[in-house]
Amino acid sequence: MSEKITYTAAFEELQLIVNEIETGEISVDQLSQKVRRAAFLIGVCKEKLTTTEADVNQILKELGDD
Amino acid sequence: MSETIHDKTVFTLLEVAHSIQRTLNERYRSSFWVKAEMNKLNHYSHSGHCYPELLEKKEEKVVAQVRATLWKDDYLRINENFLKTLKEPLKNGINILFQARILFDPVHGLSLRILDIDPSWSLGELEREKQKSMERLKEEQLFFLNKSLPLPLLPQRIAIISVETSKGFADFQKVIDQNPWKYKFFYLLFPSLLQGDKVAEAIVHQLQRIEKVKHHFDVVAIIRGGGGDIGLSGYNRYDLAKSIACFPLPVITGIGHVTNETVAEMVAFKNCITPTELADFLIQQFHNFSIPVNESRKTLIHSVNQQLADTKKEAGRTISLFLKHTTNLISTTRRELLSHARRVKTHSGFYIRNARNQVKLVSRSLRKNTTLLLGASATATSGLKPILKKETAVFFQQLGHEIDIRAKQVSMLDPKNVLARGFSITLFQDKAIRSPHVVRPGDPIKTITFDGIIESTVTTIQPGP
């Protein structure tokens, strides 16, 4: 996943697409593209649930500054 | 009475109990006022009586413990007073000033019968401090400050204020680390005292440390557990409650006790009764994120399939409609054609019959008319015969007459007749001379008269007038 996206943004965009599709605002022609995007966003969200980018050493370093 | 066994004076247990009872009754004739901590009220709802557990502590150590008895009627009266004064019922874990008599029962032993409790005294230092802290935080509009912070969608990075070896922290870790959904949390311990006199200072200090690195965290969790309900008064202190209320990240508490909520817990973003509940709360936030994502996936699949099915159905409908219409059109057209064909057949038969009849009529009338005509002709012809005979005779008569005239004229023109009348014809080389220029002097000429030929030679030629 090359695109950098926060989970909040991913989540919101996903909700938007789902809502659009659910209310039938998307034509069959656009469907494939939107579904692909939604699948990507679901992947982003799921990955966020199971990984963190926290760095203990960095925190300890910043704490040690006092 | 006592008896002697092996040189010893021996009493029965009941004798001893009765003796104690007598002695106490004689010694404690009147009631008296006592102050103590009522650790447990032990109210029995069935009988309505209470059997409170009374304690006295020094430096967190129990130095005295006596059971008490509070009969139903006394309890109801005292409880009403408490509700009036404290705005809370009589309950566990409060200090009370009470009027009592000593009771001794051979079976149930020693207890203090509580006659009355002074509710205003129970408000005590602790409660007064708590109330004051709350009021001040509310006045300064800090009370709901932490609660008004937004909780991150995924509270994933947790700064924990706890004790490494505490049961509460272990409970929390167990739930967080072993969650079956494999949700990933990051937490870092900021060790602190969690009870006693120094608790406020210790927690405030750790909050200050966390604030320095707050950008690495989503929430702060204060976790304590297994320490009982003693020594929690520090959590009611204004300075600690203020630090929590004003903290820039949501602070979640899981102090793990059964007494009244402390001020620190009240101002926290969220108060969980136990560390386990706190961990569950965090996991729930992940669920709250994860479930809609999964739901989105399901909804998406369902909606897309639905839309495709709808489109297909609509196309199918259009096709069948098209088929229906074309079939209708074809059959209508066929019907019309057949009807036309039938009409053509019917009408043509009629016309043919008509025409045939006419032909028949015509031929019949033709035959009749011909006969008539022939009859008429014959009649006409027979009538004409005498006329013809007569007219022919006239015609030939006239013709004979005319011929006679013509014969006279023709005989008059005959050259013989002309020659007879004195005219002659002059010939040169057997051709009639019509002009003097065709002959020259010396040429032999012949002159034919009515009854002979004169031969002569030309001497002169004179042109005519």
For chain B, what are the domain ranges?
3-122, 129-289, 402-465
> Which helix H or strand E contains B212, and what residues bound it?
helix B199-212
Q: Over the stretch B386-423, which tens digit does the pLDDT of each residue have?
A: 888 888 889 899 999 999 998 888 877 777 777 888 88
Residue B284, by phi and psi: left (phi above 0), alpha (psi -120 to 50) or beta? alpha
Using a CB-CB cut-off of 8 Å, the residues of chain A touching B211 are none
Residue B218 has a pLDDT of 94
- B341 pLDDT exceeds 80? yes
- A2 pLDDT exceeds 50? no
Q: What is the mean pLDDT of chain B?
A: 88
Q: Over the stretch B219-250, which tens digit does the pLDDT of each residue have?
A: 999 999 766 555 577 788 899 999 999 999 99
The residue whose two tokens read 């059959």 is: B331
- B306 pLDDT exceeds 70? yes
Residue B336 has a pLDDT of 93
Using a CB-CB cut-off of 8 Å, the residues of chain B touching A20 are none
The span from the first CA to the last CA of chain B, in angstroms, equals 234
Average pLDDT rounded to a whole number, residues B23-28:
91
Distance CA(B355)–CA(B349), nearest Å, equals: 10
Average pLDDT rounded to a whole number, residues B24-30:
90
Query: pLDDT-derived band of residue A1, with 50, 70 and 90 as boundaries?
Result: very low
Residue B5, by phi and psi: left (phi above 0), alpha (psi -120 to 50) or beta? beta
- Residue to test with chain B: of A6, A20, A22, A47, most B Cβ within 10 A: A22
Distance CA(B332)–CA(B228), nearest Å, equals: 94
Share of chain A above pLDDT 90, in %: 5
Average pLDDT rounded to a whole number, residues B210-215:
94
Residue B231 has a pLDDT of 58
- A32 pLDDT exceeds 80? yes
Instruction: Please tell me which of the candidates A26, A45, A52 has its beta carbon nearest to residue B184.
Output: A52
Distance CA(B301)–CA(A10), nearest Å, equals: 18
Residue B125 has a pLDDT of 56
The more confident residue out of B160 and A64 is B160
Lowest mean pLDDT among B183-192, B249-258, B262-271: B249-258
Distance CA(B104)–CA(B21), nearest Å, equals: 6
Residue B387 has a pLDDT of 85
Query: pLDDT-derived band of residue B269, with 50, 70 and 90 as boundaries?
Result: very high
Using a CB-CB cut-off of 8 Å, the residues of chain A touching B284 are none
The residue whose two tokens read 């013989």 is: B416
Residue B433 has a pLDDT of 87
The more confident residue out of B339 and B450 is B339
Cβ–Cβ below 8 Å for B307 and A31: yes
10 Å CB burial of residue B448 (0-12, 13-18, 19+) is middle
Closest by Cα among B59, B66, B10 to B37? B66
Q: Over the stretch B130-156, which tens digit does the pLDDT of each residue have?
A: 888 999 999 999 999 999 999 998 899
The span from the first CA to the last CA of chain A, in angstroms, equals 38
Residue A65 has a pLDDT of 54
Residue B117 has a pLDDT of 93
Query: pLDDT-derived band of residue B193, with 50, 70 and 90 as boundaries?
Result: confident
Lowest mean pLDDT among A49-53, B62-66, B252-256: A49-53
Number of Cβ pairs closer than 8 Å across A and B? 82
B156-189 burial by CB neighbour count: b if 16+ within 10 A, else e? bbbbbbbbeebebbbbbbebbeebeeebbbbbbb
Cβ–Cβ below 8 Å for A49 and B300: no
Distance CA(B280)–CA(B206), nearest Å, equals: 24
- B440 pLDDT exceeds 50? yes
Q: Would you say B151 and B221 are in contact if contact means Cβ atoms under 8 Å apart?
A: no
Using a CB-CB cut-off of 8 Å, the residues of chain A touching B296 are 14-15, 18, 38, 42
Using a CB-CB cut-off of 8 Å, the residues of chain B touching A30 are none
CATH 3.40.50.280 correct for B129-289: yes
Q: What is the interface pTM, i.e. ipTM, of the complex? A: 0.81
Here the contacts of B461-465 (C-beta below 8 Å, separation 24 or greater) are B461/B436, B461/B437, B462/B436, B463/B436, B464/B436
Cβ–Cβ below 8 Å for B153 and A11: yes
Closest by Cα among B96, B126, B131 to B233? B126
Q: Over the stretch B80-121, which tens digit does the pLDDT of each residue have?
A: 888 777 656 787 767 889 999 999 999 988 999 999 998 888
Cβ–Cβ below 8 Å for A21 and B297: no
- B60 pLDDT exceeds 80? no
- CATH class assigned to B3-122: mainly beta
A12 to chain B: closest CA residue: B293
Q: Is A1 near chain B, with CB under 8 Å?
A: no
Closest by Cα among B213, B205, B199, B169 to B265? B199
